[in-house]
């Protein structure tokens, strides 16, 4: 589906304004242009726009200030920045101030058209989607070619009912791809149901997905609808699908082939209208070769494959993601954090991010909690490996279980060591140490009292 809308393009170069206006008007858009920030704001106040595109470097009011004011006036209107993104500071600032998208100079007409379609599709999604989590935060961030290819694939297959298999390392955003496929599809008014296949035993997973009837097993005191029933008319996301047992794989294969299923213990088949998206961080082709995953199910799931690159292979996106998370958690924690010091950004860029985007998200969240100034410094950035034993210190030994081994005593000693390490990193502050450990202040206060550890309140 191709979208058209009323657009505002802001650039102080007359030739650029004329070229963009001609290209976009040929695509059926209504396009207004402005040569400076004051004119742009006046036009924006006079009438609504479906999207704005703003050049970053202009005389007088720059693109970032225009972006900030347009977002204040109409937060639901996507605003894209046209820039070379020559410095990471610009990328962080643009994302922190709420830029929806960006176009690198020099760009061709097809890139411009694709960016406009992404923005208008996003505007249509958030204006029509009934789910609160769809508003504002469900989008992929990245300018690298690999991510743009993923976005293009999502756009091409979202309007179909084809089954999609999303593959990638843990933390790369596989569930986000599933949500985007749902939100950009005709099913977006229906439910989006997610289940982690690795979180349940075989029996419980079948009951969770297919439901059960009363008396099907001990404890089944009433009929229960499964996730397939709940996802009827929408999408079902099967995360960690490689963790399914071979028996459950057979049952799922039947559903994919017939769109009918039997609740556990039931005798009457039920029909559902569901779009399936599956995800895994494992090599399913290798599992098929090892006979630990059914070949027929693999081909049923792998109709449309989407592979997400790890963050270490898209380092140019780190400033964009960092700026996005900086804005999000600054609002969530009511903290003012305007950016990163050059040393802090260098540290983020140099890290390999084995936990990918999820790890970066957690690091930025901790950094905002720990920051004492308006900028994130290297003192605020605590990477996971920094909580392990420092050079020269003997790591905590892993004992061999035996007749004299006491698990509770071992876990208590390990817990005490980690709390001591977090307190060292936080300068003795309980609040900051709790943030480093991912626990509440109440929990760490209880633990230090129980373990006899001295710390600041």
Dihedral angle sign, alpha carbons of residues 150, 151, 155, 160: positive
What's the predicted TM-score (pTM) here?
0.70
Give the Cα separation of 157 and 172 in Å (integer): 20
The reported pLDDT for the residue numbered 292 is: 93
Residues 378, 319: Cα–Cα separation, whole Å: 15
SS3 per residue for 8-22: EEECCCHHHHHHHHH
Residues 125/183, Cβ–Cβ less than 8 Å: yes
Tell me the three state secondary structure of residue 101: strand
What separation in angstroms does the CA of 133 have from each of 236, 279, 324? 16, 20, 16
Return the pLDDT at 402.
Answer: 65
How would you write the pLDDT of the chain (457 residues) with one tens digit per residue?
A: 678 899 999 998 899 999 999 999 999 999 999 999 999 999 999 999 999 999 988 888 888 899 989 988 888 888 988 876 656 777 788 878 888 877 777 788 888 998 898 888 778 766 654 333 333 345 678 878 888 889 889 888 988 899 999 999 999 999 999 999 998 888 988 999 999 998 888 778 888 888 877 766 666 667 788 899 999 999 999 999 999 999 899 999 999 999 898 887 776 888 899 999 999 999 999 999 999 999 999 999 999 999 999 999 999 889 889 988 998 888 888 888 888 998 989 899 989 999 999 999 989 988 888 888 888 988 888 887 665 555 555 555 556 666 666 677 667 777 887 888 888 888 888 888 888 887 888 888 888 887 777 665 5
Q: Are 183 and 129 in contact (CB under 8 A)?
A: yes
Strand partners, 82: 55, 103
pLDDT value, residue 135: 33
The C-alpha atoms of residue 21 and residue 8 are separated, in whole angstroms, by 9
Residue 30, H or E segment: strand 30-34
Residue 129, pLDDT score: 41
HSE on the CB side for 267, CA within 13 Å?
2
CA–CA dist 387, 39 (Å, integer): 52
Q: What is the pLDDT of residue 130?
A: 37
- Distance (Å, rounded) from C-alpha 171 to C-alpha 358? 5
**Residue 206 near residue 251 (C-beta atoms within 8 A):** yes
Residue ranges and CATH numbers for the domains of the chain are 6-133 (3.40.50.2300), 147-307 (3.40.50.300), 311-387 (1.10.8.60), 393-457 (1.10.10.60)
Residue 166: per-residue pLDDT: 97
- Residue 105 to residue 114: CA distance in whole angstroms: 15
User: Shortest CA distance to 340 belongs to which of 354, 311, 360?
Assistant: 360
């Amino acid at each position: 589906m191709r979208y058209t809308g009323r657009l505002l393009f802001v650039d102080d170069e007359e030739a650029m304004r004329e070229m963009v206006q001609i290209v976009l008007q040929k695509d059926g858009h209504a396009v207004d242009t402005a040569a400076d920030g004051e004119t742009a704001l006046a036009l924006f106040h006079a009438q609504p726009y479906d999207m704005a595109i703003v050049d970053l470097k202009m005389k007088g009011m720059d693109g970032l200030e225009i972006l900030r004011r347009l977002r204040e006036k109409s937060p639901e209107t996507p605003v894209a920045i046209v820039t070379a993104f020559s410095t990471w500071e610009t990328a962080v600032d643009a994302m922190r101030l709420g830029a929806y998208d960006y176009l690198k100079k020099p760009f061709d007409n097809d890139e411009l058209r694709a960016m406009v379609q992404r923005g208008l599709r996003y505007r249509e999604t958030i204006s029509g989607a009934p789910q609160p989590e769809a508003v504002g935060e469900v989008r992929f961030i990245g300018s690298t070619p690999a991510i743009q290819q993923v976005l293009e694939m999502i756009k091409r297959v979202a309007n179909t009912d084809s089954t999609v298999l999303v593959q990638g390392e843990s933390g790369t955003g596989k569930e986000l791809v599933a949500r985007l496929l749902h939100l950009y599809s005709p099913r977006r008014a229906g439910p989006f149901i997610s289940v982690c296949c690795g979180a349940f035993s075989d029996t419980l997973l079948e009951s969770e997905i297919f439901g059960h009837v009363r008396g099907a097993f001990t404890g089944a005191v009433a009929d229960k609808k499964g996730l397939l029933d709940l996802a009827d008319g929408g999408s079902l996301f099967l995360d960690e699908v490689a963790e399914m047992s071979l028996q459950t794989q057979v049952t799922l294969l039947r559903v994919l082939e017939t769109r009918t299923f039997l609740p556990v213990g039931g005798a009457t088949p039920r029909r559902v209208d569901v779009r399936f998206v599956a995800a895994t961080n494992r090599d399913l082709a290798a599992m098929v070769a090892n006979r630990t995953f059914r070949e027929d199910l693999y081909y049923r799931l792998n109709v449309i494959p989407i592979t997400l690159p790890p963050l270490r292979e898209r380092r140019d996106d780190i400033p964009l993601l960092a700026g996005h998370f900086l804005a999000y958690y600054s609002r969530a924690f009511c903290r003012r954090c305007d950016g990163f010091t050059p040393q802090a950004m260098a540290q983020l860029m140099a890290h390999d991010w084995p936990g990918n985007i999820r790890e970066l998200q957690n690091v930025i969240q901790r950094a905002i909690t720990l920051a004492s100034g308006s900028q994130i410094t290297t003192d605020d950035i605590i990477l996971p490996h920094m909580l392990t034993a420092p050079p020269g210190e003997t790591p905590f030994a892993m004992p061999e279980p035996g007749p004299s081994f006491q698990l509770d005593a071992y876990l208590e000693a390990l817990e005490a060591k980690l709390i001591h390490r977090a307190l060292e990193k936080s300068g003795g502050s309980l609040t900051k140490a709790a943030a480093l450990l991912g626990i509440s202040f109440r929990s760490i206060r209880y633990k230090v009292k129980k373990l006899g550890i001295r710390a600041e309140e």
